[in-house]
Amino acid sequence: MIEAHASVLAGWWFCGYRCIKQLKGIYPTEVSLAIKRGLRLHETLSRRTRSPEAQRLADTLDKYKVASETRPNDGTFFTRPFKDFQVLGDVDGFNLRADGFQIVEYKTISNPEWLRRAWYLSPQIFQEQLYAWLLEPTLHDLDMPLTRDHVIIHYDGKGVEQGRTRVTYDPSQVYANLFTIHGAYEDPARIIYSTIPWKCDHCDPVYKSTCSHPVKLKHV
């Protein structure tokens, strides 16, 4: 089985070539500032206390998680197979609502304007939909309904909330995306490359050096 982390699969919406390379085990040469900011935020948020009921559920859910071979130091993950992908992922948090389990993701954002940009939101929305898909069978076992809508909360670097994105989970949409990505994994001719110049301009050399489709920024 090929380990396919939800965060990597979500990157399909940023650039398909980079996503497929990561699925094949080629990772960036350096940790980006955005990832460092995100790690600090998660550290702060993970210290928050939960209600006794939510803590009991979190402890039960922990028993369903597995270690990752490719990320042995990153804790444990929920997992679900798709073809020869072993999809892995873990949620940042959850709300227990009257209608069930709502997934909550925390993201850092440098510019609140991006909350209106598809290039910024698409990977995050797909990542949260993947988490819902990963958790669905486990929550079903526990007789806990999954709510239809989930939420991404965006914070600035100081931990001040900048906005929220509502995410609807539709399993057929998740399957359609997984089929597309798996198809590109098997047949590079199906890879969809970034067409946005600034992405290519800031692309990690480990991808850009082998990519045949970099889009050049037009400097005027």
Report if residue 213 touches ligand SF4, rule: CB under 6 A. yes
CB 193 within 8 A of CB 213: yes
Which part of the chain contacts ligand SF4 (CB under 6 A), choosing from 106-114, 148-156, 181-189, 205-213? 205-213
Among 9, 15, 88, 191, binds ligand SF4 (CB under 6 A): 15
Which part of the chain contacts ligand SF4 (CB under 6 A), choosing from 12-20, 44-52, 54-62, 164-172? 12-20
Report if residue 22 touches ligand SF4, rule: CB under 6 A. no
Report if residue 211 touches ligand SF4, rule: CB under 6 A. yes
Considering beta carbons, is residue 51 or 212 the nearer one to ligand SF4? Answer: 212
Which part of the chain contacts ligand SF4 (CB under 6 A), choosing from 31-39, 41-49, 56-64, 192-200? 192-200
Binding mask 145-184 for ligand SF4 (x = CB under 6 A): ----------------------------------------
143 sits in the region (left: phi over 0; alpha: psi -120 to 50; else beta) called left
Angle at 128 between CA 142 and CA 170, to 5 degrees: 75
Quickly count: other Cβ atoms within 10 Å of residue 29's Cβ: 9
Q: In whole angstroms, how close is the CB of 147 to ligand SF4 at the nearest point?
A: 34
Among 12, 13, 17, 169, binds ligand SF4 (CB under 6 A): 17
Q: How far apart are CA 182 and CA 2, in angstroms?
A: 11
Report if residue 18 touches ligand SF4, rule: CB under 6 A. yes
Amino acid occupying residue 55: Q
Interface residues with ligand SF4 (CB under 6 A) are 15, 17-18, 193-194, 199-200, 203, 207-208, 211, 213-215
